[in-house]
Amino acid sequence: MPLQKFIIDIHNFTAQYSDLVIEENPVGFPDTPFSYLYFPEKKLVLHCVFLENAIDVSTFFQKISQLFAQKDLRVIHLWEDIWQTKRSIVESRLMSLFGKSETIPARLTQVQRIDKPTMDKFLINNHLQSKVNAKLKYGLFLPSRYFRVIQNERVLQENINKEAFLVAIASFSNAKKIIREGQEYRSYELIRFANYKGFTVVGGLNKLLKMFIDEQAPDDIMTYADADWSDGTNYEKIGFERIELTSPLTFELDNETFTRKLGDENSKNKIYNSGNWKFLMKLKDDAETE
């Protein structure tokens, strides 16, 4: 694929769904062999990463993120293979950042347990990362009596004969015993959270977490945010504490099929991401200090 088509596609998408001004490769931005698209109104930078250009430094993308954080700008490292293989999900994420997603109030929804096939299908269609095993799986459903809040005609038609529309999911690990500061904790991991493409459930993650906490009574909940896409600020807003930025992950990339898998330093055509932000919601400590 010609290098410029990647940029043209994003320009065309942005022009179709917003009137945001785009600046290409502004002066003063960190040096990169790739391209920047800057949306000054949103203080957002897309770092468009072409597969033809290789980076041998594992911390390159982390350092770019740190430099933009110092400028109070949010940067997303948008890889060409992710755009090619999961374009509709990327577009949905961008629509949300542009403030163009449909919104559904969480108060209109109901939480139910879901099974693995339902979770897997939802994640494949609505999450940038691969599906994973999870012990505890919850879905957020919009009952048919509230379908009137949906503007998307295609979604309405697809769900017209259903009693409810699955609008978000959250999956969790089983409990693990963790010793921290001399105390034993029943710790769980929030493994995946996702909204249905094109929608944002306002307060959705909070509602799913509340049901999980009510049912499982965890001492704490740990989770990760993909640092290519997020600094995890939204987790902090709902009670998680920022713990650390993990080391970049190494992937082996196939430039022809646009597929990647976890690799190591011996992998052919290896690439590095930005790592993950680790967060922890402490529930046991909060209860003891009340």
> What is the four-CA torsion angle of 255, 260, 264, 265, rounded to 10 degrees?
20
- Give the model's pLDDT for residue 255: 78
- Among 10-19, 209-218, 278-287, where is mean pLDDT lowest? 278-287
Sole residue written with tokens 């965890």: 218
Contact 58, 235 (CB under 8 A): no
Quick check: 283 pLDDT over 70?
yes
Taken in order of first residue, the domains within the chain and their CATH numbers are 3-97 (3.40.960), 118-138+169-289 (3.40.630)
Structure confidence by residue, pLDDT tens digits, 84-110: 999 999 999 999 999 999 999 999 999
Q: Where are the alpha helices (DSSP H) in 149-250?
A: 153-159, 204-216, 233-237
The reply to whether the predicted model has a pTM over 0.85 is yes
How does residue 285 score in pLDDT terms, banded at 50, 70 and 90?
Answer: low
Over pLDDT 90: what percentage of the chain?
78
42 backbone dihedrals φ, ψ, rounded to 5° = -100, 0
Contact 111, 136 (CB under 8 A): no
DSSP class of residue 30 equals P
Q: Mean per-residue pLDDT for 30-54?
A: 93
Over pLDDT 70: what percentage of the chain?
97
Q: Mean per-residue pLDDT for 239-258?
A: 91
Structure confidence by residue, pLDDT tens digits, 138-164: 999 999 999 999 999 999 999 999 999
Structure confidence by residue, pLDDT tens digits, 203-212: 999 999 999 9
- Give the model's pLDDT for residue 276: 97
For residues 270 and 164, the model is more confident at 164
Cα distance between residue 167 and residue 143, in whole Å: 10
Structure confidence by residue, pLDDT tens digits, 218-248: 999 999 999 999 999 999 999 999 999 999 9
